[in-house]
Amino acid sequence: MIEEIQKLAKEYPSSKSAVLPALRYAQEQHGGWLPREAFEEVGEALDLTPAYCMSVASFYDMFQLERTGEHTVEVCTNVCCGLLGAQAVLEAFERELGVHAGETTADGAITLRAVECLGGCSTPTIVAVDHRYRQSVTPADVPAIVEQLRG
Amino acid sequence: MSASELVRVTIDGKEVHIAKGTGLVESALHAGIEIPVFCYEPRLGAPIGACRMCLVEIEGMPKLQAACTLTAQDGMVVKTARTSAQAAEGQNATLEFILVNHPLDCPVCDKGGECPLQDLTFRYGPGKTRMNFEKTTFEKPIPISPTISLDRERCILCYRCTRFSESVSEDGQLVAKNRGAMSVISTFEDEPYTGAFTGNVTELCPVGALLPTQYRFEARPWEIQSVPTVCGMCAVGCNTWVDLREGKAKRVRSRNHFEIDEGWLCDKGRFAFTHLRAPDRIVDPIQRVRRRGFEPVSWDAAIDAAEEMLRAARERVVVALSGSETVEQAYALAKLVRVGLDSHEAVLPEEVSGALDAYRAPLSSIGDAQVIGVLGDVPLEESAPIVDLWVRKARRNGARIVDSEDNLKGADVLIWSGPGGRGGVRVAQLAEQLGVSAAFYVPATPNGRGIADAWSAASDAEPGDEHSIGVLIVSGDEAAGNPNVRGLAERAEHVIVSSMFHGLAAGWADLVLPGTSYLERDGTYVNLEGRLQRLRRTATPPCPDELEWISRLAARFDIELAPYPSSVFAEVSKRCYGGLSFGEVGERAALRTYDAAPAHVDPPALPEPKTAEGGLHLVCYKPLFSGPAVERVTELQFQRPRAEVELSAVDAERHGVKTGDEVTLTGGGASVTLRAQVNRKLRAGVARVPDEFAGDVRGAVELSKAEVTA
Amino acid sequence: MADTVVEVAEQPALVLRGYDGTPLVDLDTYRSVGGYAQLERARAMSPQEVTQQIIDSNLRGRGGAFFPTGRKASFIPTPDKVSKPIYITVNADESEPGTFKDREIMLKVPHRLLEGCLIAAHAIQSKHVFIYIRGEYTEEYEVLSKALAEARKAKLLGNVKVTIHRGAGAYICGEETALLESLEGKRGQPRSKPPFPAIQGLYASPTLINNVESITNMPIVLEVGPQEYAQIGAPPDSTGTRLFCLSGNVARPGVYEAPHGITTRHLIYDIGGGIPNGRELKAVMIGGSSFPVMTPNELDTKLDANSLGQHGLFIGSGVVCAIDDRTCIVQFALRVAQFYMHESCGKCTPCRVGTRWLVQILRAVEDGTASENDLEVLLDVCDRIIGKCLCVLGDSAAMPVASCVTKFRDEFRAHLAHGGCPFGADSSLANLFAPTDQHAHTTVPQELSVERV
Ligand SMILES: Cc1cc2nc3c(=O)[nH]c(=O)nc-3n(C[C@H](O)[C@H](O)[C@H](O)COP(=O)(O)O)c2cc1C
Ligand code: SF4
Ligand code: FES
């Protein structure tokens, strides 16, 4: 881990710049979120305090400071998607998964999240499944998507 | 500030001529105009323009500007809230926004009455709030350490505390968490904010969000009496305010002396004052009575007993000093035994040399240095924390810090911290070779220099040759705690100890007289710069102070010795401080030089400890959070040093030791087992251990991995 | 799951030049439409010449502020005047609601973006280009990285280093100084200006910051020639084309390249096929969600900075989002405010506190618990935010909200009178859930552990 992170740092004139890539990498290594150790590791690798790394991570939506599911489903509920049924799509996922936005299924498999505009406004609703965009998602598509993740 | 060109700035119609680049806030003050601020604090580095309290109108700029982020430029025309409706509107807006989420719990807030937010609201604020929705709420108050509590609802997010942590103390422990309206101040996970300087954030916070736990519900500002004095915990002598309520010290705050402390104060100086109220405090004289141990005795009885012992011991009295006595106390003792009892032998707390007087400079000069040599084996943060802050500041300004005698070339400031410095002789020699302008030696005791002055001022007679010890006078707790002194005590027929706390001398003293703390004494100290500073009595001691009984005792031997610091000082001053009067020492003492001061007898060089090739030399030191006072403050226990030995990477490598391993050090016929801590910054050949964990191990040591007993 | 429509709606094709539906992702196809020829030409010119051509074209920023790109480049000191390195950072953080064009540039013509970067690097003699790409963009990152690898392999970079840096989910990092902070490994909080990035940007060195589309225009400026370019669109100020981001209640949403100056009506009705389901247009979110909304009576306004400016509107990042008459404008304003509350960096007071307050008032209006006076407070809070923040995110929240109140006051009043939303559940934005209510990582430390006692 430490070596990997220090490799990332080589790309930058100042190793501190590697904090974001380092946290991203650490999050992947730790199963989608950043436990205490992750901050200690990144801190050690880049000669920063764990507190500093936590402070940076907590600023960005893509870093999770609490345990998340193995998969994430992120539904854009900003205006453009909202105008064409994003709320229905979100609710479809809530029903299908039996959780509210921001929660993780009891089995720890899937985390559902509402997110701000993902930049796919002409093909609403945009749903990022494990960080890959699905375009023009309708409530009808929801069971299949969940099926796929569960399967 | 370097002499730079003057520019003309117009503020609310007033013209000021001021150095180009001066902050607008300062420029306005210069014109007698206040621009209110919250986040702005020049000591924290570049302004951030976050709180928006300082909005002003600048001619030629479309939007309102944050005055704190701008500097004086020629021809600039500034309108503050006093003359610009737009600026006033901006200021009101900010204040309203700040108050939107601020709980109005001022009546139960310790900051109430000395709160910038309260004051600015009073002066500029809206009469009523238009916010009729739920305020942001957080769990509160939460301790961020045993000494500091955080109220996140009161926090206005000016980021002063986090900026201090990031760019002054550079500990990176206190940070902002989350984003936007959910932003909060936080430490890492559940870890306490630890370090030498954490308490400063309680003074930086412009609201009641970060408060000292010791002070919680202790006093209201208008009940307080603030006494200006100096800290007696280390040789820096930071200037402080001690806040009293009904004669009791409730809080210690910094009293900015820009040459010494720049308004910073370490946690020892700030939080250790509660040792005054330690349960084991001695308040009456106690005397050993055959078989029955110690018994309280009246002062008269105590003085009689002391006189008796001393008469019998004429010429054979030895004094062991702590280094925390005031100049006056030390001089009084010296006069008593040297003039009164013709005994000239003292165990001074440490070597002191006048060699450095030629390189005298204010600590602030470190801040402007280009290359700084930091020598000796004890980290500055432990021996003289504020000096460490100056070095950090210099580094931030681009200075290079060298820690080895081999590459001191180009150094303009030298600092020595740790053993082997021979009271400054060593660093003075280096200073001469390199021709540096300023050099500092960090004594191990707060007033080592002043005490050496006082001792030499009392008499010119030389100590006689070896003789038996009739009476050993042990002055103060540090001396009482010193193993060497205890060694002497065994040789002495009688031992008189002056000590604040029970137990320290219980085993071996015949008579124990109650001692006082630096917070209870009036007098003077000499700090590591050689600066004479005024100590004031803050809290009333539970017993007469040392000067009082010494002068009573002196009278028994027909020595004239007034119990008043001012007159005692006058005597010392004639010899050492150019006749300066007590009054002239001053509230914010200047760094003076005194001609015709007697040079102390430089003690002979100690042989540099020899260590075999690859061998280790033990360096014992007093960590910042150690000593009789700190040991008695519960809130500071989490800061106490651990039972560890620090090793350089090289030596750890050589002995195959990793951080966390148990290792045994053997030397001087004794041995201890400690946890190893590898420290990359430590030089090879050194094993560093806090005094209190070194036991009797001394000098060259053998290191072996301890057997792991199952 | 339909793909985004990306078309040249009106000639001339500039940014999408040579793109006919098949992405120009690999080097050869890009070369086949004249790719990297302009880089060669540029390198044959002096840096000043290249900058001059950009100035002459009057190309302006496509990121939102519409600042003249050539002039910005000319602010960068030349290497002989500074001891520090000179940097370029390309702003690919695209997070303005309704904006999805930079993404398509990276997916369809990634090499043109890279060619632009290298031309810009030559123009200001920079040796290191950073592309700060929005963290959520995975495919875009992969396509761009592949293109970069190809270009590197083909020795096109010369002595220039190009680093693709991925964000991590924070709209504010699109703000140039926040972006720099983020790129330095800090919380993405804006810096107060001055100093400006051109003088003290990344690592306190001179830094040129441009939007993806702006940079991608550079090869084109050289190709068609600055004078020619300066004639396209709505000279003198709004030259060249735009990748308009058409979305919302329109029949054919998508990214359409067209010259500055076509009318909003033309874009929505002719190019976009109008409002479906026999609905009426109610408002247009134009420029992005950061700006005042457009009302139908302003539909014939030309899509160029000056024409829009006359109505107090902005071209922003080319967003045109049609909102039909099913939509409750209070819900719209609320959702916009919630976005900015969520994205406020928390550094400066008016934005951090004000955006939350806006949300609370708008929520009360929507729920029918607000009073006429609350509407006044609402406008006042907007006023007290605008022009008083450290960066313009605060204004970006206040402007659209204020415009909704002033332009649709009757509808706001109806909420008060009706004791709630007159649309009920029929509004397309009814009870739309916002991430702010999700309270991402807000845990406060439990009991402090002081193990060292
Ligand atoms: C809150 C905020 C968000 C912004 N987001 C973006 C963005 O996502 N992409 C972008 O190119 N510019 C964005 N900008 C504008 C940038 O600050 C900057 O003006 C722009 O990147 C300059 O490039 P240009 O001159 O080529 O437009 C944003 C500005 C603000 C205040
Ligand atoms: S306006 Fe908002 S985003 Fe910009 S600095 Fe202030 S708090 Fe941060
Ligand atoms: S004092 Fe200027 S913004 Fe805070």
- How, if at all, do strands B686-690 and B644-647 pair? antiparallel
Interface contacts A/C by beta carbons within 8 Å: 191
Counting ligand 3 atoms within 8 A of each CB, the residue from B29, B41, B53, B65 with the most, and so the one to mutate, is B53
* Residue C238 near residue C304 (C-beta atoms within 8 A): yes
Please check whether residue C175 touches A, CB under 8 A.
no
d(CA B587, CA B438): 24
Question: Strand locations in A47-87, DSSP E?
Answer: 71-76
Instruction: State the smallest CA–CA distance between residue A57 and chain B in angstroms.
Output: 8
The pLDDT score that the predictor gives to residue B707 is 67
Cα dihedral C385→C389→C393→C395 (10° resolution): 40
d(CA B499, CA B217): 32
Contact C1 A18 (CB under 8 A): no
Q: In this complex, which of A13, A63, A122 lies closest to C5 when CB atoms are compared?
A: A122
Counting ligand 1 atoms within 8 A of each CB, the residue from C54, C60, C91 with the most, and so the one to mutate, is C91
d(CA B89, CA B96): 10
Query: Does the beta carbon of C188 sit less than 6 angstroms from any atom of ligand 2?
Result: no
Cα separation values, B232 from B325, B474, B536, B540, B564, Å: 9, 19, 11, 16, 20
Measured N-to-C along each axis, helices C372-385 and C349-367 cross at an angle, to the nearest 10 degrees, of 160
pLDDT tens-digit readout, B295-343: 999 999 999 999 999 999 989 999 999 999 999 999 999 999 999 999 9
d(CA B311, CA B485): 22
* Residue C244 near residue C217 (C-beta atoms within 8 A): no
Contact B180 C357 (CB under 8 A): no
Q: Which of B456, B447, B457 is nearest to B479 (CA)?
A: B447
Query: Does the beta carbon of C209 sit less than 6 angstroms from any atom of ligand 1?
Result: yes
Half-sphere exposure of B479 (CA within 13 A, CB side): 29
d(CA C394, CA B296): 72
Q: Which of B547, B380, B366, B381 is nearest to B439 (CA)?
A: B366
Query: Does the beta carbon of C356 sit less than 6 angstroms from any atom of ligand 2?
Result: no
Q: In this complex, which of A60, A86, A101 lies closest to C169 when CB atoms are compared?
A: A60
Interface contacts B/C by beta carbons within 8 Å: 134
Q: Which of B566, B574, B599 is nearest to B424 (CA)?
A: B599
Q: Can you list the residues of chain B whose pLDDT is less than 50?
A: 1-2, 601-607, 710
pLDDT-above-90 percentage for chain A: 98
Reported pTM: 0.95
Please name every residue paired with B512 in a beta bridge, in sequence order, or none if there are none. Answer: B286, B497
Which of B99, B182, B642 has the highest number of chain C CBs within 10 A, making it the mutation to test binding with C?
B182
- How, if at all, do strands A110-115 and A71-76 pair? parallel
The answer to whether the Cα torsion of B485, B489, B495, B501 is positive or negative is positive
Residues of A in contact with C171 (CB under 8 A): 116
Measuring from atom 7 of ligand 1, which residue has the nearest CA? C174
The pLDDT score that the predictor gives to residue C439 is 61
d(CA B540, CA B195): 30
Instruction: State the smallest CA–CA distance between residue A48 and chain B in angstroms.
Output: 8
Which ligand 1 atom sits nearest the alpha carbon of residue C65?
19
d(CA C317, CA C286): 9
Which ligand 2 atom sits nearest the alpha carbon of residue C395?
1
Identify how many contiguous H helices and E strands chain A contains and give both numbers: 7, 4
d(CA C345, CA C169): 12
Cα separation values, B439 from A44, B361, B366, B387, B395, Å: 35, 7, 9, 12, 17
Better pLDDT: B587 or A28: A28
Interface contacts A/B by beta carbons within 8 Å: 35
Instruction: State the smallest CA–CA distance between residue C310 and chain A in angstroms.
Output: 26
The pLDDT score that the predictor gives to residue B392 is 98
Query: Is C356 a residue whose pLDDT tops 90?
Result: yes
Rg (CA), chain C: 23
pLDDT tens-digit readout, A57-96: 999 999 999 999 999 999 999 999 999 999 999 999 999 9
C neighbours by CB contacts (3+ pairs under 8 Å): A, B
What's the B97 CA to ligand 3 centre distance in angstroms? 14
Q: In this complex, which of A14, A80, A114 lies closest to C438 when CB atoms are compared?
A: A114
Q: Which of C47, C32, C26, C42 is nearest to C154 (CA)?
A: C26
Cα separation values, B294 from B83, B256, B285, B478, C383, Å: 74, 45, 10, 21, 77
Containing C394, the helix (H) or strand (E) segment is helix C393-407
Classify residue C4 by its DSSP letter: P
Among chain B residues, the shortest Cα distance to C169 is held by B179
Residues of C in contact with A7 (CB under 8 A): none
**Termini Cα distance of chain C:** 61
Residues of C in contact with A118 (CB under 8 A): 136
The pLDDT score that the predictor gives to residue B610 is 53
* Residue B661 near residue B592 (C-beta atoms within 8 A): no
Cα separation values, B327 from B330, B363, B554, B574, Å: 5, 22, 17, 13
d(CA B438, CA B467): 42
pLDDT tens-digit readout, C265-278: 999 999 999 999 99
d(CA B252, CA B268): 10
Among chain B residues, the shortest Cα distance to A58 is held by B178
Those residues whose C-beta lies under 8 Å from the C-beta of residue C97, and which sit 6 or more positions away, are A78, A79, A80, A116, A117, A121, C285, C288, C289, C319, C336, C339
**N residues, chain A:** 151
Cα dihedral B310→B311→B315→B321 (10° resolution): 10
d(CA B322, CA B478): 5
The pLDDT score that the predictor gives to residue B126 is 75
Query: Is C451 a residue whose pLDDT tops 80?
Result: no
Counting ligand 1 atoms within 8 A of each CB, the residue from C100, C176, C392 with the most, and so the one to mutate, is C176
Query: Does the beta carbon of C397 sit less than 6 angstroms from any atom of ligand 2?
Result: no
Please check whether residue B398 touches C, CB under 8 A.
no
The answer to whether the Cα torsion of B534, B535, B540, B544 is positive or negative is negative
Question: Strand locations in B530-638, DSSP E?
Answer: 532-535, 616-621
Instruction: List all residues whose CB is within 6 A of at least one atom of ligand 3.
Output: B 37-40, 49-54, 66, 68
Which ligand 3 atom sits nearest the alpha carbon of residue B51?
4
Better pLDDT: C447 or C198: C198
What is the mean pLDDT of the segment spanning C40-49?
98
What's the C96 CA to ligand 1 centre distance in angstroms? 9
Residue B696 has phi, psi (to 5 degrees) of -105, 10
Measured N-to-C along each axis, helices C110-124 and C37-44 cross at an angle, to the nearest 10 degrees, of 0
Measuring from atom 24 of ligand 1, which residue has the nearest CA? C61
The pLDDT score that the predictor gives to residue B104 is 83
What's the B89 CA to ligand 1 centre distance in angstroms? 29
The pLDDT score that the predictor gives to residue C368 is 95
What's the B656 CA to ligand 2 centre distance in angstroms? 52
A neighbours by CB contacts (3+ pairs under 8 Å): B, C
Those residues whose C-beta lies under 8 Å from the C-beta of residue C178, and which sit 6 or more positions away, are C170, C172, C188, C189, C190, C191, C345, C391
Query: Is C445 a residue whose pLDDT tops 60?
Result: no
* Residue B180 near residue C354 (C-beta atoms within 8 A): no
d(CA B189, CA B473): 51
Query: Does the beta carbon of C392 sit less than 6 angstroms from any atom of ligand 1?
Result: yes
Looking only at Cα atoms, what is the longest distance across chain B? Answer: 90
What is the mean pLDDT of the segment spanning C41-68?
97
Query: Does the beta carbon of C388 sit less than 6 angstroms from any atom of ligand 2?
Result: no
d(CA C387, CA C392): 8
* Residue C90 near residue C113 (C-beta atoms within 8 A): yes
Please check whether residue B187 touches C, CB under 8 A.
yes
Which ligand 3 atom sits nearest the alpha carbon of residue B55?
2
Angle C95-C96-C99 (CA atoms, 0-180°, nearest 5)? Answer: 95
pLDDT tens-digit readout, C367-408: 999 999 999 999 999 999 999 999 999 999 999 999 999 999
What's the C401 CA to ligand 1 centre distance in angstroms? 20
The token pair at A16 is 């501190």
Residue B327 has phi, psi (to 5 degrees) of -55, -40
* Residue at token pair 């709030």: B129
